[in-house]
Amino acid sequence: GTELLPIAFFEGRFVPIQEAKVSIATHALQYGTGVFAGIRGYLDRDGQTINIFRLPDHTRRLLQSARLLRAELPYDAESLGELIVELVRQNAPRTDVYIRPFVYKADLEIGPKLKGVRDELAIYMLPMQEYLPITHPIRLMTTSWMRTVDVVIPSRAKVCGAYVNSAFAKDQAMECGFDDAIMLNHHGKVAEGSAANLFIVRNGTLITTPVTADILEGITRRTILEFAHDLGIPVEVREIDRSELYICDEAFLCGTGVQISPIGNIDGRTVGTGEIGPITARLQQLYLAVVRGEDTPYRHYLTRVAVA
Ligand code: PMP
């Protein structure tokens, strides 16, 4: 199993992780009525600082997800960020970490609904290295599971229950011997991976789907669009057809957990040369330099927490 770091924030207090427990009857556990964030903290090259990547963006998105779920919390983006920084300080990890803030309907009430169910906040952390390979290309499969539609469960919010959709997709791909799934939306257009957004490259142009394609409004996706703009790489944000996956020159998944994972094969068809493409490599190199706290123009995206 996964080893969690020893201190959690749970329903208003910092507690030992063993005490961060809820009842079996918890609304969010029964009905999936929770939302969460996934944030990475990278151990700086100095070995005594954790660089949290784009913390204010993650807390803002969490509050937006919470708002969709009609969750009411006594925190704004800033005070949420302060709690997360304090938790990192208290755990003082000397490894890369993944931080999981979790807003959940906490009443022990029977019946699916949103309004009038008490909301709570918990935050915990774990060590995390690679979630998918980043140094060699991965193999993906377009799953027969359709991405949840905005009128079913909005993909732009990180809703706990919606991850059943991701789990179906990921499992099918794994059972078939692939590393992850690509989900299509109800229009049959490319949406995203099971836990990551997707980019392709065609004729030197970087292409990704619009946020209205039933995808999570990914923070890494936004970061890459900014990098591409600054590097002078042409960008198109538009619908992507499945058949484009088969003829593109490069493709990669991106996300907080995934980072930038190059795709070498989709549905048994080689992407480009099957190796990491030049644009993917350039973006990946910059991304890893930024999150490691190297001297780049993007250092303002780091919240630096001293842990020594
Ligand atoms: N899509 C899904 C379904 C995800 O779970 C994630 C991971 N949070 C992403 C995309 C990537 O989003 P981000 O870059 O904000 O981590």
Over 90: is that where the pLDDT of 226 sits?
Answer: yes
163 in the same domain as 40: no
How many CB atoms are closer than 10 A to CB 301? 19
What value does the mean pLDDT take over residues 17-40? 98
CA distance 252 to 197: 8
Query: In the chain, what percentage of residues exceed pLDDT 70?
Result: 100
Residues 66, 208: one domain? no
> Is residue 19 over pLDDT 80?
yes
Q: Which atom of ligand 1 is nearest to the CA of 256?
A: 16
Q: Total structural domains in the chain?
A: 2
Domain boundary (88, 108, 127) is at 127
Residue nearest to atom 9 of ligand 1 (CA): 196
**227 and 122: one domain?**
no
Give me ligand 1 centre to Cα 166, in Å.
11
Domain end point (choices 83, 107, 127): 127
Q: Does 142 lie in the same domain as 109? A: no
Residues near ligand 1 (Cβ within 6 A): 38, 166, 192, 195-197, 216, 218-221, 255-257
Residue that finishes a domain, picked among 127, 162, 187: 127
Residue 1 lies in a domain: no
Whether residue 308 lies inside any domain: the answer is no
Q: Do 152 and 116 belong together in one domain?
A: no
**Rounded distance from Cα 102 to ligand 1 centre (Å):** 15
**Does pTM surpass 0.95?**
yes
Does the interface ipTM go beyond 0.95? yes
Q: Cα–Cα distance between 300 and 85 in angstroms, integer?
A: 16
Q: In sequence order, which residues have a C-beta less than 8 Å from that of residue 73 and are 6 or more positions away?
A: 63, 66, 103, 119, 121
**Amino acid identity of 183?**
M
Sign, CA torsion 65/68/73/79? positive
Alpha-carbon distances of 40 from 89, 264, 278, rounded to whole Å: 14, 25, 25
Judge if 122 and 14 occupy the same domain. yes
Q: Is residue 45 part of a domain?
A: yes
Indicate whether 1 pLDDT > 90: no
Q: Alpha helices of the chain — where are they, by DSSP H? A: 27-31, 55-68, 77-91, 163-175, 219-231, 242-247, 278-291
Q: In this structure, what CATH number is given to the domain that contains residue 94?
A: 3.30.470.10
For residues 115-132, give the mean pLDDT: 96
Cα(170)–Cα(235) distance, integer angstroms: 28
Report pLDDT for 2. 77
Average pLDDT, the chain: 97
The CATH code of the domain that includes 168 is 3.20.10.10
188-211 pLDDT, tens digit each: 999 999 999 999 999 999 999 999
DSSP string, 56-106: HHHHHHHHHHHHHTT---S--HHHHHHHHHHHHHHH--SS-EEEEEEEEE-
